[in-house]
Amino acid sequence: MFVTGIRLTHHKDGRCRWNPMNKLGRNDPCPCGSGKKYKQCCLSREQAARPRAGALERDEPFIAELRPDLDEAVDRVLRRLEQGAGTRIESEITALFEENPDYHLTNYAMGVYRAMVIKDPAGAIRFFERAVKILPPFPEAHFNLGNAARQAFDIPKAVAAYRAVERYAQDDGIAEMARKELEVLEKILLNTTAFPTLDAYVANAQLFDRAFQFLTDRQFEQAVELFKRVLSENPTHVQSYGNLALAYAGLGRRSDAMACFDRALELDSRYQPALLNRRVMAQMREGEPFIPEAVQEVQFYAERLRNQPGRGGSDAARI
């Protein structure tokens, strides 16, 4: 589910300012109105509800332009979308974006349109990311970014986005929606993986991404080291065995590469990237590096899930 509604808040000077030094202090009056100090009232409860330390990026001051006229125009288009206008709003929403490509709400609207009407959550991500880069305390955009990333199977990005909703939301409604999404993600991942916590899964996924970047950059020694670290924490991760095989091939270690392909296929005999790449690597000689022209990212398992009923030169393949 994606949200379309937006909270329109206008400042007299046409600017939105955010300064992390203005956050509520421990000795300040509690905002709940109890008359007690914050530390003696709601602080402990709110700290317990917050993400673990390190889960979110640091706050940075920013100034963003606010344009009431443009806000109202975007709001009108999004209301029409809610009423079922569908592709009939495409020209209007595209014109607003093309005329104002660096405004948070036009990027938000394009993201909503791509996610809800075009059914392209992966394509919506860059618009939501741009919206929250321009205006970080934009909980609706963070929430939609989380949903788009989850549907695109980018779990670390989804988790970070939902936690940003909790961080910036000024009302409990959307914050509670984000908490529920995080709870569902955590339940699924803890039931289907060996990781003890959601943060452990995210850290391992980020390590995988770093390893793949080394592979793409042809830094094969570093790629081998990181893929082995991924597998030490997640020993049945099929994609890591397939990519570790490519890194070994780049180093000329044919026997190690073939062993990794075999292990990937032992875990999943239908893992197409390993089947294809193994046939190619079988032609290489021990000690002679095999370096593909490109390492292509293939979302194999994501595509398999999407295709399930009811679910929505030489190149080498990742995932």
The tokens of 133 are what? 């880069």
Question: Which pLDDT does position 194 carry in this prediction?
Answer: 86
Return the higher-pLDDT residue of 17 and 263. Answer: 263
Evaluate if pTM is beyond 0.85: no
Percent with pLDDT over 70 in the chain: 75
Instruction: Express each pLDDT in 26-47 by its tens digit.
Output: 566 765 667 776 555 655 544 4
Whether residue 183 is predicted with pLDDT greater than 50 in this model: the reply is yes
For residue 4, name the pLDDT band (cuts at 50, 70, 90). confident
> For the segment 131-157, what is each residue's pLDDT rounded down to a tens digit?
999 999 999 999 999 999 999 989 999
Band (pLDDT 50/70/90 cuts) for residue 309 is very low
Q: Is the pLDDT of residue 165 over 50?
A: yes
Residue 285 has what pLDDT?
Answer: 93
Whole-number pLDDT of residue 254 = 96
Q: Is the pLDDT of residue 317 over 50?
A: no
pLDDT of 299 > 70? The answer is no
